[in-house]
Structure 1
Amino acid sequence: MAQGRGSAIAAATVMLCLLLLHFELAQAATYTVGGSNGWAFNSAGWPKGKRFKAGDTLVFNYNPSIHNVVAVNRAGYKSCTTPKGATVFQSGKDQIKLAKGQNFFICNYIGHCQAGMKVAITAA
């Protein structure tokens, strides 16, 4: 009898964990960077007033023949440089999940980051 009760508790615990995981995934949001303008110059202020969470998806819409998206570290963001090994996205419709903490993105075409084509987002 005690073994039956223990396995029922274990099963209930597993079900609760699965339910919480489903709830967490359902709560993820999708944001189009730059809004209707898409990924463009002067994007740095776009996150202002928004609350991001780890697992939210950023959608970068842009013309891939003239822009890209590069996931960089803080130093790369501040200096508008691409660190060695940085991930470069070039589809024009990139979807990137936010990691917990700070997330930095730039366009590394010459002069674009310096002209404000960069965004820093902190995800809770």
Structure 2
Amino acid sequence: MAATVYDVGDSAGWTIIGNVDYNQWSSSKIFKVDDTLIFNYDPQYHNVLQVSRSDFHSCDATSPIAAYSTGNDSIPIRTSGHYFYICGFVGHCQAGQKVDIRVPRPIQPTGTPNESPDGGPQALSALGPAPIGRRMPGPFMNSGKSILLDFGR
């Protein structure tokens, strides 16, 4: 799937004017690794600070993880996780100029577990593949019990 470039706040940009609801904006998106966030704003009146979760909730701009101030900041998403951005100008975060970006882990494709290089299933044993429908000793059990492995061929 191709990467997406997101203008934070869409056409309003990064601002306190117009009562932009950045929480609503971000919750309507599905962010992924390799996407890019673009913060557009007037650097005379705003900036972008990446902060911790607690600093986001308290609007504490004193210890940012990263700081941006060009007015057209391009921030690539490199890993899944939770990212918090605020404006560091006095009162702006408290007025709602903050955004919480959630990037979920990529969903792994589902398939037959433990497939061999030729695409066929393998038994979960150090002893090698088990015959289909036959019992074999469990590799990590001393009870003498066995397990039935049936891969539905």
The TM-score normalised by the length of structure 2 is: 0.61
Task: Work out whether 1:72 is the aligned partner of 2:47.
Answer: no
CA RMSD of aligned residues (A): 1.4
Q: Does 1:55 align with 2:30?
A: no
The change in CA–CA distance for 1:55 and 1:83 in structure 2 (over 3 A counts) is farther
* Over 3 Å off, 4+ runs: none
Query: Identity, % of aligned pairs?
Result: 41
Instruction: Write the distance in 1 (CA, Å) between the matches of 2:31 and 2:85.
Output: 15
Q: How many correspondences in the alignment? A: 99
Shift in Å, 1:87? 1.2
Distance 1:75-1:38 versus aligned 2 partners, 3 A rule = same
Q: State the Cα deviation string for residues 9-43 of structure 1 (Å, max 9, x = none).
A: xxxxxxxxxxxxxxx6xx21100000000012233
Give SS of 1:60's match: strand
Is the 8 Å Cα contact of residues 33 and 58 (structure 1) preserved in structure 2? yes
| Residue range with higher mean Cα deviation, 77-86 or 33-42 | 77-86
Give the TM-score normalised by the residue count of structure 1: 0.74
1:37 lines up with 2:12 in the alignment: yes
Name which structure has the greater RCO, CA cutoff 8 Å, separation 6+: 1
Q: How does 1:92-111 map to 2 (within 5 A)?
A: 92-98=71-77, 99-111=79-91
Structure with more of its chain in helix, by fraction: 1
Name stretches of at least 5 consecutive residues in structure 1 with no aligned partner: 1-23
CA contact (8 A) 1:105 1:118 kept: yes
Structure 1 equivalent of residue 95 of structure 2: 115
Match of 2:37, SS state, is strand
Distance verdict in 2 for CA 1:80–1:48, change over 3 Å = same
CA shift for structure 1 position 83: 4.8
The unaligned stretches of length 5 or more in structure 2 are 105-153
Deviates more, 1:85-94 or 1:28-37: 85-94
AA paired with 2:15?
A: A
